[in-house]
Amino acid sequence: MSMNLFVWNVQGCGSRNFVRVTKQYIRDYRPDVCVFVEPRVSGRQASQIISSLGIPNSYRIEACGFSGGIWLCWFDHIRISILSCHFQFIHCSISSVNSQEIFLATFVYASPNYSLRRDLWRHLSTMAQTILRPWVVLGDFNATLSPSERQGCSSNVPDSQFQDMVFQCGLQDLGFTGPKFTWYRGNRSVRLDRCFGNAAWYEHLPQSSLHHLLRMKSDHRPIMLYPSVPPASPRQPSFKYFSGWSLHSDFKRLVCENWDSTLPISEAISNFTGAAVSWNNEIFGAIGKRKKILMARLRGVQRCLDQRRSANMVKLESKLLQELETVLDQEESLWKQKSRIDWIKFGDRNTNFFHSKAMIRRRKNTIHSLKLSDGEWCDDANRLREEASSYFKALFSTDGTQPPLLPFSGMFPTSQALHADSLISIPLEDEIREALFSMSPLKAPGIDGFHAQFYQQHWEIVKLSVCRTIQSIFQGNDFDPTLNRTRIVLIPKTDHPESFADFRPISLCSVLYKLVTKIIVRQLQSIVPSLIGPHQTSFLKGRSITENVIIHQEIIHSMNLKKGGTGWMAIKVDLQKAFDRLR
């Protein structure tokens, strides 16, 4: 679906400069629908201005003097039906003449008056109760959701009723690409213009993205919604173990027959992966398809039972209900695994919740555009890949200079011989099992695609291979290179990253690699307290960084209260290359 929406608080359309700037936006961004709010122009003059823009179709909420007003304009290849309107919004359905897909859009200009905005929130909350289609709400809301969306303002308090409306409507902020704020005046900057989507929007249009555009003429940046952004190049999906497989009665037999403990574990994993993929395609099948087939069969059986009771039909209904119950459990397991949410333990099925979270998570994990080293924003996927590679190569490399040798001898405590013996001991089966079962079952897998849950649920089958591999490593044998491969992923440090500096690279390791490190950590736990000084408070069991934070706050407080001609200075050090990169 390619129906790009351009929304701009123009703060007056009467000047000739407005037409020139708007035509430039249309040439640069090629929107299909243009919405202008706060035009401060109405009647015949408004019609003439819209005509001069070259956009053939329009619908208007007229301005009241110099306040309010919404112009909705669209090109001929777009179909728009006005469903309802209000002096603060236009609600419509949008489709393309070449497509049967329809979504709903509500274009908003919220009044600066607080009581009038509350009326808008009530209207949107009421409207949301009857909406099942993909729905997007965008425009100038004249309100914020969090203090971080204001800068340089006398008050950073968010609008609680705005927050309540978003929650009641089941809306999620689409986020943005580009500069953080959309309204500027003097030293004040606020994010007033934004876009929300409901759960159906995220399900049907997961690739949609909102861009904050270059600001010209107005105090507001235009926002541009791209409902569908096709991937730059199709990726071959990698194998991932699905926890719902274990709910199938045939899966344990599959593991028994296809896991060969006589082979090196990398070969055993590879052989089983191929068997699991074939079994999934031929027997397990697509969950959604199986659910539809079962529900259709169940409807047919229940229609027959309505006409005439039959013992065989009752038995078949019971069997189908049991199968459907299993499929629904598998579906919930699938979306729970994809959503990475593990804090809901009990209760009814939460498939819709997990599905919604998975869609939101997928959006957050997609980089649409970033600011490059030259300060320009880039949305070309190939160039972003090249920039990411060069940035992190530079970050994790050295300049080749040799640091000076310092006389460290005798400055640090050393371990005793007894400690050294415990570090080179070969772990027993019980130790390996304990370390494995202490892992979170569904943490992100490594390149092989297997979660810890697979090894935990099938321990009796795989334990021989696992223990032999782990013990071989602790005996000093080479680590199998295939087990040492990692997938590097970028984790955003902020909600809206602007450059590669706003990402933290982490490595996703295989379960077996993590198992080795867990055992080493356990062996080190008894030694570490005697090797690390008392001033190191973080990352050690029984110690807390809270005391350091309190001391820091006391120092800053004292600096603020200090009087006299001599001042104090505190140096804040940001260690971009922390821990393993310090030399």
pLDDT band at 289 (very low <50, low <70, confident <90, very high): low
In this model, does residue 478 exceed pLDDT 60?
yes
**Segment among 10-19, 215-224, 469-478, 573-582 with least mean pLDDT:** 573-582
**pTM, 2 dp:** 0.56
Q: What stretch of H or E contains 317?
A: helix 311-339
Give the other-Cβ count within 10 Å of 10's Cβ. 23
Say how many C-beta atoms besides its own lie within 10 A of residue 110's C-beta: 24
Give the amino acid at 201: W
Q: Please tell me whether residue 347 adopts helix, strand or coil conformation.
A: coil
The two three-digit tokens of residue 169, written as one number: 């409507």
Least confident residue range of 130-134, 273-277, 535-539: 535-539
Percent of the chain with pLDDT over 70: 83
H-helix or E-strand containing 83?
A: strand 78-86
Say how far apart CA 103 and CA 225 lie, in whole Å: 13
Rounded to 5 degrees, φ, ψ at 21 are: -65, -40
Cα–Cα distance, 32 to 73 (Å, whole number): 9
- The partner residues of 95 in beta bridges, in order of sequence, read 79, 102
pLDDT, one tens digit per residue, over 90-106 is: 999 999 887 778 999 99
Q: How far apart (Å, rounded) are the C-alpha atoms in residues 229 and 218?
A: 28
pLDDT at 481: 84
> d(Cα 149, Cα 157) in Å, to the nearest integer?
10
What integer pLDDT is reported at residue 210 of this predicted model?
92
pLDDT at 10 over 60: yes
Structure confidence at residue 443 (pLDDT): 85
The backbone torsions φ and ψ at residue 108, rounded to the nearest 5 degrees and listed phi first, read -115, 135
Residues 524-551: what's their mean pLDDT?
Answer: 76
Query: How far is residue 460's CA from residue 463's CA, in Å, rounded to a whole number?
Result: 6
Average pLDDT for residues 417-441, to the nearest whole number?
A: 83
Mean predicted confidence (pLDDT) in 325-334: 67
CA end-to-end span of the chain:
52
The rounded radius of gyration (Å) of the Cα atoms in the chain is 30
Candidate ranges 50-54, 318-322, 348-352, 359-363; pick with highest mean pLDDT:
50-54
Per the structure block, which two tokens stand in for 32?
């299909």
Give pLDDT, residue 357: 56
Task: Give CA torsion, residues 288, 294, 298, 299, to 10 deg.
Answer: 40
* DSSP string across 111-130: -SSHHHHHHHHHHHHHHHTT
Tell me how far CA of residue 54 lies from CA of 97, 277, 334, in angstroms.
Answer: 19, 54, 49
Tens digits of per-residue pLDDT, 33-49? 999 999 988 888 989 99
What are the angstrom distances between the C-alpha of 237 and each of 234, 447, 449, 490? 9, 12, 11, 18
CA 545 to mean position of chain CA atoms: 29
**Given this model, what pLDDT does residue 287 score?**
62
Q: Where are the domains of the chain?
A: 5-226
Residue 195 and residue 397 in contact, taking contact as beta carbons nearer than 8 Å: no
Judged against a pLDDT cut of 90, whether residue 466 lies above it is answered with yes
CATH fold group of domain 5-226: Deoxyribonuclease I; Chain A (3.60.10)
Task: Decide: helix, strand or coil at residue 556.
Answer: helix
Could you give the CA distance from residue 162 to residue 117 in angstroms, rounded to a whole number?
A: 9
Average pLDDT over residues 129-152: 93
Whether the Cβ atoms of residue 130 and residue 147 lie closer than 8 Å to each other: no
Q: How confident is the model over 486-535, as pLDDT tens digits?
A: 888 888 888 778 888 888 888 889 999 999 999 988 888 777 777 777 77
- For residues 400 and 203, the model is more confident at 203
Distance CA 580, CA 209 (A): 36
| Alpha helices, H only, 398-502 | 417-423, 429-437, 452-457, 459-474
CA 5/CA 533 separation, integer angstroms: 59
Q: Determine contact, residues 143/162, Cβ cutoff 8 Å.
A: yes
